[in-house]
Structure 1
Amino acid sequence: MDETTNIDQQPEHRVWCCAWGLFEGQPNDNCSTTDDGELEQGGNGKPKEFIITGGNVPQLKIVHISPNDGSAFPFEYTHQLPGMGIHNLALSSDNSCISAVSMDGNLMLVNVMGGIRLPRVTHCHISNIWSTAFSRNPDCVYAGSGSGHVFKYDTTLGTLQYSYDTGRCENILGLAISGDQRLVGTTDYQGNFTLIDGGTGTVLRRRNHKEPMRRLAYDQLTRYALAACDDKTIRLIDLPSGRLRETLLAHDAIVMAVDISPDGLRFVSGAFDGSIKVWDVRMTKCALSFQCGYTTNLWDVAFNKLSNKISVVGDGKGLGVYYCLGNREMLLV
């Protein structure tokens, strides 16, 4: 999110963030509830894809894009949340828990099926969270603050486990955690990339790129990181060294988001002007480029778990889904 955004001037329908999930079975119109109020999963046991979105209203929308007997296509439902709209979210590795950051700086944990788990996750009374991320361990969640700190919480009680200091008192816009939790990476509004040892809290590398860096993503094997930058570029960063490998001249507008496919072969970037590019990781060359014409301002892009679809969110229509097979794209939603 841009710090200068005027909430009073927002269009009626804005979607700011998205994430993909995948589980066996899918709820249908006749879902039953358990004693603790969570929905039981239905379906025929086949993998079911869903997309979580958050925007300028205080709710999370979950859209199931896989066909399901007995329910409409696509099937969708919402979880109402306290506070203001949701501008950043992450999904746990077991596809069960959503970590959501509200516009008023609160971090909330929400069960995908059952709704709010913890309406506020914090160790103090200051609401100043900007970003969130999971590692492969669903038992803990990370949050980047406006003071340059990253906080690690357990997902059961929401209590603080560890605090990391980037040494820069800036809004942490991008946050990425390695699967083994050994590398905590951040990018901030002043263009600082900071790499921290997840075990000791030691700053391993810091580099300033002068312009805001909005999103940060690691590949599955933690070989490299990608950062979306306001200077219209993508920074490709080697891991675990944290050294800059390459600066990709990516778009003609601010790069709002990047994401890496789970199979590690491609990554996607999206710019504020609605341009979307899919890149070949091996050659760092753009393999597919197209314009998302139905949205006025693009805010986020994400790969699905099967590495064959891309979700795009922004102003206007809100959510779009594209096939990503070879050099062809097809609008789904």
Structure 2
Amino acid sequence: MKVAWVRSLESCHSECVWSCTWASALLLTGSLDETVKLWDPEDLSLVRTNTGHCLGVVSVAAHPSGKIAASASIDSFIRVFDVQSNNTIATLEAPPSQLWQLQFDPRGSLLAVAGGSSGSVQLWDTAEWKLVSTLSIPTLQPSKPNNHFVLSVAWSPTGTQLACGSMDGSISVFDVQRAKFLHHLQGHTMPVRSLVYSPLDPTLVVSASDDECINMYDAHGKTLFSSMSGHSSWVLSVDISPDGAAIVSGSSDRTVKLWDPKMRAPIQTMTNHTDQVWGVKFQPTGTGTGTLLASVSDDKSISLYNYS
């Protein structure tokens, strides 16, 4: 497995770029300049710009159909829009400091939102755009106040489980159908910025943390079976390749690393960015002989790579 740099685009936004995702063949990026931009990966030409937020965009997510997308902002609003027409479909409001990462479930029927200071994950029905459930995290130590500021969220490939990462380093796992908290996954000592389930193994969760480690867990058995280190600063983003064979990470050390989970070590380091890397994302399904990988950074740039 390897990645090969394809192209980069400098100054793709006027401020730091904190999030990226794929909607079918388009790359979506969210920035502190309050916009979501849609790009053609063939030449990184700008297709359209989605506006409407009045503060920075912290997360973007695409519906499994690729037809709609959602963005979360520091302005406490989620904007849902049509990818092709750019028309607004819904605007969802939350209290201050309660909108962080968001992700659609594999069927596209629910949108999960990491609830920040609420210590919970909110589930929104995508048919009527109504809040249908709030999954609250119980405290690890009953004698102490709940300090689960929720930063990250991830669905299992079956859509039956949901994991979220918190500021205190814990990961919480829920049974979504029963709206029931199952257990905590422990091992990190600092905020968990990013989470992802393996697309091929519904038990495998990979996490990225400010403690400079990437952890791999058995989410069903509650077991930490590997902790990988190699970055020299916070690990801000993580993803797993569509074939399940590789892990990619972005860090405050300005690098993107490709990891072999079997070797439990980095096998490639990309140094295209000049500032911390907030987002890394594989294209869900590859075309031709390779799959595209995107990375975005505080340096306001996008980089694209071929994974094979």
Deviation per CA, 1:65-115: give whole Å up to 9, x if none.
137xxxxx6352111123212111111111112121101222221211122
Q: 1:297 to 1:192 in 2, by over 3 A?
A: same
What residue identity is the alignment partner of 2:297? G
Q: Which residue of 2 aligns with 1:276?
A: 256
Q: Which residue of 2 aligns with 1:61?
A: 37
Q: Which residue of 2 aligns with 1:80?
A: 51
Q: Which residue of 2 aligns with 1:21?
A: 23
Q: 1:283 to 1:223 in 2, by over 3 A?
A: farther
**SS of residue paired to 1:58:** coil
Alignment of 1:293-312 (within 5 A): 294-305=273-284, 306=286, 308-312=291-295
CA distance in 2, matches of 1:126, 1:238: 33
CA distance in 1, matches of 2:152, 2:96: 20
**Aligned equivalent of 2:302, options 319, 326, 330:** 319
Would the aligned equivalents of 1:13 and 1:318 in 2 still touch at CA under 8 Å?
A: no
**SS of residue paired to 2:91:** coil
Alignment of 1:104-119 (within 5 A): 104-119=75-90
Structure 2 unaligned residues grouped into runs of 5+? 1-12, 139-145
**SS of residue paired to 1:296:** coil
- Report how far residue 135 of structure 1 moved: 1.5
Q: Does 1:200 align with 2:170?
A: no
CA distance in 1, matches of 2:47, 2:274: 21
What residue identity is the alignment partner of 1:159? K
Would the aligned equivalents of 2:198 and 2:244 in 1 still touch at CA under 8 Å?
A: yes
What residue identity is the alignment partner of 1:319? I
CA distance in 1, matches of 2:294, 2:22: 8
What residue identity is the alignment partner of 1:153? W
CA distance in 2, matches of 1:165, 1:97: 27
Q: Does 1:135 align with 2:137?
A: no
What residue identity is the alignment partner of 2:162? V
**SS of residue paired to 1:295:** coil
Q: Quick one: higher RCO (CA 8 Å, sep 6+), 1 or 2? A: 2
In our comparison, the structure showing a higher alpha carbon Rg is: 1
Alignment of 1:207-226 (within 5 A): 207-208=185-186, 209-221=188-200, 222-226=202-206
CA distance in 2, matches of 1:119, 1:103: 17
What residue identity is the alignment partner of 1:112? V
Structure 1 unaligned residues grouped into runs of 5+? 1-10, 23-48, 68-72, 326-333
CA distance in 2, matches of 1:249, 1:58: 33
- Report how far residue 116 of structure 1 moved: 4.2
Q: Does 1:170 align with 2:155?
A: no
Percent identity between matched residues is 23
- Report how far residue 213 of structure 1 moved: 0.8
TM-score by length of 2: 0.85
CA distance in 1, matches of 2:225, 2:87: 41
TM-score by length of 1: 0.79
**SS of residue paired to 1:316:** coil
Deviation per CA, 1:274-327: give whole Å up to 9, x if none.
1111112333332222212x43222111111216222111122421112233xx
Alignment of 1:118-129 (within 5 A): 118-122=89-93, 128-129=98-99
**SS of residue paired to 2:168:** coil
Would the aligned equivalents of 1:21 and 1:51 in 2 still touch at CA under 8 Å?
A: yes
CA-atom RMSD, angstroms? 2.1
**SS of residue paired to 2:123:** strand
Q: 1:213 to 1:74 in 2, by over 3 A?
A: same
Would the aligned equivalents of 2:230 and 2:265 in 1 still touch at CA under 8 Å?
A: no
**SS of residue paired to 1:175:** strand
**SS of residue paired to 1:173:** strand
Q: 1:84 to 1:126 in 2, by over 3 A?
A: closer
